[in-house]
Chain A
Amino acid sequence: MAEAVTVEGLEKRYGRVEALRGISLSVKRGEIFGLLGANGAGKTTLIRILVGLARPTAGSVSVLGFDPNREAAALRRQVGFMPQSPALYLDLSTRANVAFFGAAHPHENSGRRVEEIIDFVALRERAHDPVHTLSGGMKQRVSLGCALFHKPALLLLDEPTAGVDPPLREIFWKHFRDLAASGATIVVSTHQLDEALACDRLAVMRDGAVLACDSPAGLLRRGRTTVRVKCGDAIEEARIESTPEALAAHLKHAGLSPEVASVELVADTLETIVLDLVRRGGAP
């Protein structure tokens, strides 16, 4: 099966609140799939449904070929989940936390695996310290380590870099790329646009709906380019499609006459495109 995750017409209501409104998407095996959206977009609800912590109101879900509601035990042997809050025992050490969450899974040498995880998240010097003495970024590293213990085929990461400083975020993303390179599928929610660019594909979400689902390059192609042609004292500005053909067609009428002093091109950034998508609610 090429798809790690398939979601069709997924709805989730909490009383009167519609957290998800008929979402459909699929995640290929081995890809880093981003869920991009503001708070309340439905990213956490979707991830909780994928790991079987929330029951959908309607629609179907398949994760690694399992139904998260009916086959949660089998599914969870292959899924690593990192919640938005660190969700750790603050009075226990890094080592004890990794060992405890890891103990849920059978392992031939769990002690050695705990040490491997501690090295992987680079917390060897703080392995004995209670988690409450660690910084926010260190807690996130412990939390990531707990999710990786059983070498899961699918990692569900809910805003793993929330509150993490830029250098550490870079380290986290290096980990994610390494894990994806080793064959793991990663679904990661974020509201950071630079992180979205590092994903293979993205679902842009708002108010429980998917507005667009594409690669970052595909999303960038949806943007437009602003062309400013300075001709003498006059500046002519136009918005055109971000393709070489559109640019050539636009410049034809101005030509390259001696009066053209400069041609400035400003392409839409992913931020502009996403904000525009969100503002328009995904409509073309």
Chain B
Amino acid sequence: MIADRIRRTRAVGGRVMVQLVRDHRFLALALLVPVAVVYLLHVFLGSVNSPFFDPARFAVPLGAFIVHFLTYVLTAIVLVRERTGETLPRMFACGYRQGEIITGYLTAYTALASVQSLIVLAELAWLFELDYPWTKFLSIALVIWLLAVISMSLGILVSNFARTEGQVLPFVPAVIIPSIFLSGVVIPPENLPAWARVLGWFTPLFHADAVLVPLLKSGGSMADAGWSLAGLPCYGVAVLALASLTLRERD
């Protein structure tokens, strides 16, 4: 039984991976766009003309936001394509289950998101001359990678609710814009009204930022994040469970 589930999950992951690798244009854009956007971030932050402003303070949280945005958008359309192409009902009719399809997709896209996260972090380190010990870099990489995986899960969840590719579009700003305002990237969450702080918990960036802010402080480490460390994995598990439960098999 478990072996069957693993075989089917591997089949979905393998098939999606082959499709990703063969789509050269998509692959090139998925890898080049973060490079260009991080460079623009460097130009933007470098243009703030204030002696009290430290661009490096914002570089990593905003880099995390870029990863969140790109990975979320990449996956927000995947299941819609399967639905409109009638391959999703065919997968169900063949015996594939919701969890296997979601996990298979996530496995394949995680490979791409991992490369994107590494590119963003390496470019941030180079452009902003981030001078962190390697353990801190490793911690930052782990948080950004987790954020990427969770953002993809969120994208897959959202794509469950759209019947056409056009219906996905309103979901993009609905998730991304509140992330900027409520997650603590720009304004510390404690400065927000209580109801806005509660809303902020529903953005993955909030949980990533809760770990990154203490981590980025001088001498800071993952341990300083305390309970916030559990936020990202818990959020990810909840989103994955919701995505599996809401992937409709029957009309």
**Chain A residues engaging chain B, CB cutoff 8 angstroms:** 14, 48, 51-55, 69, 72-73, 76-77, 79, 81, 83, 85, 87-92, 96, 100-101, 103-106, 146
Contacts and interface: CB of A to CB of B under 8 A. Distances in A.
A96 B17 CA distance: 12
Contacts of B89: 48, 53, 83, 87
A57 B89 CA distance: 19
Interface residues of B, number: 24
A73 B91 CA distance: 12
Given A91-B19, A101-B94, 20 more contacts: A52-B249, A52-B250, A53-B93, A55-B251, A73-B95, A76-B93, A81-B94, A87-B87, A88-B87, A89-B85, A90-B85, A92-B18, A92-B19, A96-B15, A101-B90, A103-B8, A104-B8, A104-B11, A104-B95, A105-B94
Given A76-B93, A105-B95, A106-B7, A100 B251 contact: no
Contacts of A14: 251
A106 B251 contact: no
A89 B85 CA distance: 8
Nearest to A48: B251
A237 B18 CA distance: 69
A49 to B, nearest CB: 9
B93 A81 contact: yes
B195 to A, nearest CB: 36
A146 B15 CA distance: 15
A103 B93 contact: no
Contact of B94 (A89, A104, A106): A104
24 contacts: A14-B251, A51-B93, A53-B92, A53-B93, A54-B250, A54-B251, A55-B250, A69-B250, A73-B97, A76-B94, A79-B93, A81-B93, A85-B85, A87-B85, A87-B90, A91-B22, A92-B15, A96-B15, A101-B94, A103-B7, A104-B8, A104-B91, A105-B95, A146-B90
A54 B86 CA distance: 14
Contacts of B11: 100, 103-104
Interface in B1-19: 4, 7-8, 11, 15, 18-19
A83 B90 contact: yes
Contacts of A87: 85-87, 89-90
B95 A77 contact: yes
A3 B200 CA distance: 57
Contacts of B23: 91
A266 to B, nearest CB: 44
A89 B81 CA distance: 10
Interface in B70-101: 85-87, 89-97
A253 to B, nearest CB: 59
Contacts of A103: 7-8, 11
Nearest to B10: A103
